[in-house]
Chains A and B, each alone.
Chain A
Amino acid sequence: MSDNVKFLQGNEACVEAALYSGMDFFAGYPITPSTEIAEQMAIRLPRIGGTYLQMEDEIASLCAIIGASLTGHKVMTATSGPGFSLMQEALGYAVMAEIPCVIVNVQRGGPSTGNPTHVSQGDVNQARWGTHGDHAIVALTASNHEDLFRVTVEGFNIAETYRTPVILLFDEVVGHMREKLVIPNPGEIPLVERLKTSVKEGIDYHPYLPREDGRLPMSDFGAVHRYNVTGLFHDMWGFPTDNPKIVHGLLRHLVDKIDNNAHKIAMYKDFYVDDADRLLISYGSAARSALHVVENRRSRGERLGLLELQTLWPFPAQIVRERARGMQSVTVVEMNKGQVLEAVKSAVDKPDRVFLANRTDGVLITPTDIRNFLRVIKGKGI
């Protein structure tokens, strides 16, 4: 068997993908169900001369990788709900200071300590609005190891392209499930490397002045350009300001650079959508059950389709609106109280035709669960 064919956990697949992306600095704190990522990083990173750092908590972990990103490294941390809650302030810092970094949240049941060893998708809205203040955010997810690998690599690419934190919102089932993964050859998935400034020593460098294409070339800490990085609103040199014009402009830049590129960031998969008259929308491990239902119903002649979302934020509203058009019903399959449901409702033309098929008890939603929901929806005459 070839060396690049593996049978492994989703958490391990995430590590493989991060290494494939060129990540060489990881800081973390143990937490179920993401711990295997830290354990694998501790084994793998020193072998390539990279850094594994176990910090005193999740706050420090995210802060440490932000610091390391500033010296030019691709960086990652991994956690689950309680740790992700602790990270929210530093996450906002990475948004404001425009520091590329990747944060994995292998979701478990919440709130609070919740249901540590069981699956949930309850952090979708926390990923969107967990840190305070207006901002845009990128959050990606996946339902199987091949996708998880690709999504993780794209996560690093997006982080570098837009100088932004990227959240990988996996879940306990995908994180712990073992399945086959064929690791792509180097170069098979293109990588985005850190865009570094070409401004020479002695010439005024503006770390926070976007180029015409919106990208901001960086200068590593320790290199020839000395500048300031702050969580305060700042001018093009990185120095604090409360000038209303600059504050307005920076906030608009932070939101626009993500939202205006939502179509480029949007990752999704269509299954039998073209001729469908009823649509399921799902993501993460829930999408596995949704796909099973779709294939099962298709074999019985029902025209059911599935839109599997991999980009959750910025919400791919246009894709969802287009796919939902003309459908008798749209059913969002997720393991929370309807977090993506609300986003779908605001995206589609007919929100009254959007329904929820969910499960929130720590057990993976099953095809039978989904079929039962669909029966109820049909029973309403829709």
Chain B
Amino acid sequence: MAIKDYIRERFFPHMWCPGCGHGMVLNGLLRAIETLGMSKNEIVMVSGIGCSSRISGYVDFHTLHTIHGRALAFATGVKMSRPELNLIVPMGDGDALSIGGNHFIHACRRNIAMTAIVMNNRIYGMTGGQFSPLTGYGAMATTAPYRNIDHGFDIVQLAMAAGATYVARTTTYHVKQMTEILRDAIIHEGFSVVEIMSQCPTYFGRKNKIGDAPEMLEWFKNTTTPIGSKAKQEDPSLIERGVFVQKELPEYCSEYAKVVERAMKGRS
């Protein structure tokens, strides 16, 4: 299938701003799914609220556009009731880690098989450019007019500490890596977290004088480096890209199947 077979073409052009990284995530995600040759009926996409969450409206899967921060909780219910379905949960950085932070760490901890994609543009875009828990110290936002004093989360470190069994980071500039990582994350038997640094030229780029969409991609290229690279040793401020964790641990649905087995035995 071509990637256009996976989208709801009647809603295009989409609602995202010119140069928005979220469209690039959609592009890369569809290519990953195409590579896997998955059937549209076996994919459920669950999203929350924000610019990022609108991605679910554009894909021709079973789509559940929920409430702010709770996508992973809804997805957990879908997955536990139909473990054979593939769950993809794209979220914004505020959605996943501010209002949804608790659900995020607990989903990591359970190691329930689904793919959490954090489309990290470091800003609340839908509401017009307020700082998020990923904006970072010293940055500008409409609600940090004198520079932000909140320190940002490191999504990768957080997901690793919380117990996710696949953790990766990439950027919208690195589209080929993005597609490969998403493909691996989707087939991973456990909870996978993919942070994709995504540009918001309209708010983050403008407020922080990084420039337009191409300039922001250039910035991703220049401020990131592959995990363990020599460049990182020379410049510790570089952000590492790649797969940080990929391990096999008991998955939640299969563990629950064991609970059912024990309960049924105990009864007889």
User: Which residues on A are within 8 Å of B, measured CB to CB?
Assistant: 25, 27, 43, 46-47, 49, 51, 53, 55-57, 59-61, 63-73, 75, 89-90, 93, 221-224, 226-232, 239-240
- The reply on B177 being an interface residue by CB < 8 A is no
Is A68 a contact partner of B62 (Cβ separation < 8 A)?
A: no
Q: Is A53 touching B11 in the complex (CB atoms < 8 A)?
A: no
Q: Closest A residue to B266 by CB, please name it.
A: A47
Using a CB-CB cutoff of 8 Å, which residues 28-48 of chain B contact chain A? 40-42, 44, 46
Give chain A residues whose Cβ lies under 8 Å from the Cβ of B82.
Answer: 71, 221-222
State whether B262 touches A46 (Cβ < 8 A). Answer: yes
CA distance A291 to B42 in the complex (A): 55
Interface residue from B41, B78, B259 paired with A67 (Cβ < 8 Å): B78
Cross-chain pairs A/B with CB under 8 angstroms, 11 sampled: A56-B106, A66-B74, A67-B81, A71-B85, A90-B70, A222-B42, A226-B63, A227-B62, A227-B63, A230-B57, A240-B65
Q: Given the known inter-chain contacts A90-B70, A222-B42, please indicate yes or no for A63 contacting B63, CB distance below 8 A.
A: no
Q: Do B81 and A47 touch (CB < 8 A)?
A: no
Q: Does B263 contact A (CB under 8 A)?
A: yes
Q: Nearest chain A CB to B42's CB is how many angstroms away?
A: 7
Interface residues of B in 72-109 (CB under 8 A from A): 73-82, 84-85, 102-103, 106
Q: Which residues of B contact A65 (CB under 8 A)?
A: 77
Closest A residue to B63 using CB positions: A228
Inside 8 A of A64's CB, which chain B residues have their CB?
73-74, 76-77, 80
Q: Is the CB of A67 within 8 A of B63?
A: no
Across the two chains, which residue of chain B brings its CB closest to A231?
B67
List the A side residues contacting B76 at CB < 8 Å. Answer: 53, 55, 60, 63-64, 67
**Known interface pairs A90-B70, A240-B57. Does A229 touch B64 (Cβ–Cβ under 8 Å)?**
yes
CA distance A228 to B60 in the complex (A): 9
Query: Given the complex, which residues of B lie within 8 Å of A46, measured CB to CB?
Result: 259-260, 262-264
A27 near B77 with CB under 8 A, answer yes
Complex interface residues of chain B between 49 and 73 (CB less than 8 A to chain A): 56-57, 60-67, 70, 73
Tell me the nearest residue of chain A to B102, going by C-beta.
A56
Q: How far is the CB of A23 from chain B (nearest CB, A)?
A: 12
Query: Are A56 and B70 closer than 8 Å at their CB atoms?
Result: no
Known: A223-B41, A227-B62. 6 other contacts (CB 8 A): A25-B77, A46-B263, A53-B76, A56-B106, A63-B76, A228-B65
Closest Cβ of chain B to A85, distance in Å, is 15
Looking at B57, B81, B84, the one whose CB has the most chain A CB atoms below 10 A away is: B81
Q: Are A47 and B263 in contact (CB under 8 A)?
A: yes
Q: Of B65, B74, B85, B256, which is within 8 A of A222 by CB? A: B85
Q: How far is the CA of A51 from the CA of B266 in the complex (A)?
A: 17
A226 touching B40, Cβ below 8 Å: yes
Whether the pair A73, B41 counts as a contact (CB closer than 8 A) is: no
Compute how far the CA of A73 lies from the CA of B80 in the bound complex, rounded to whole angstroms.
11
Q: How far is the CA of A229 from the CA of B44 in the complex (A)?
A: 11
User: Once bound together, how far apart are the Cα atoms of A27 and B103, in whole Å?
Assistant: 14
Q: Given the complex of chains A and B, what is the CA–CA distance between A350 and B132 in angstroms?
A: 56
A367 to B70 CA separation, bound complex (whole angstroms):
46
6 closest residue pairs by CB, A with B: A67-B77, A64-B77, A46-B263, A63-B73, A60-B73, A68-B81
Pairwise interchain contact A67-B64, C-beta atoms closer than 8 A = yes
Query: Roughly how many angstroms separate A89 CA and B73 CA in the complex, as a whole number?
Result: 13
Interfacial chain A residues near B262, Cβ < 8 Å: 46
Determine the distance from Cα of A51 to Cα of B65 in the docked complex, in whole angstroms: 23
Assembled-state Cα–Cα distance A224/B256 (Å)? 27
On chain B, the residues within 8 Å of A230 by CB distance are 57, 65
Q: Does B230 contact A (CB under 8 A)?
A: no
Bound Cα distance A211, B205 (Å): 49
B44→A222 contact, CB < 8 A: yes
CB neighbours of A72 from chain B (8 A) = 81
Task: Give the residue name and chain of the B residue nearest to A62 (CB).
Answer: B73
- What is the chain B residue whose CB lies nearest that of A229? B64
How far apart sit A175 and B125, CA to CA, in the bound complex (Å)? 46
B71 to chain A, nearest CB (A): 8
A51 to B11, CA, bound (A): 37
- Determine whether the beta carbon of A221 is less than 8 Å from that of B78: yes
